[in-house]
Structure 1
Amino acid sequence: MAALAWLLIPVFAAFGAAIWGGWAARNRTTGDVTELAGYAKFREAMEKSHSGSEPVEQISNA
């Protein structure tokens, strides 16, 4: 019985490694699409807010 336990430890470790490997290699690009769309909206809003205003003068502390 002890020999069977020692043989099952590597089998369970390999099974766990296979599950972890599959989870780590999953496709996670679905979140990028919404983030990129939000970033594009942010850039458009920033361009609109600065397009009609006067340029800001730089203040030097020298």
Structure 2
Amino acid sequence: MAALAWLLIPLVAAIGAGLWGSWANRTRRARNDGPELDGYARFRAAMEKPHSRHMTEQP
């Protein structure tokens, strides 16, 4: 009987992990990535702009 209890522990843990994983992932489907992608596009545009001074010049 003790061996059966030790086998049930990982089974219950796996079921619990599956339930938690499905619960944690439920809101990711409806997430809108528009603002994050817009911010990344602005970042890339800023990085591609030429600088007015070189890094070696002293102010």
Classify the TM-score, shorter chain.
Answer: 0.3 to 0.5
Larger Rg: 1
TM-score, normalised by the number of residues in structure 1: 0.43
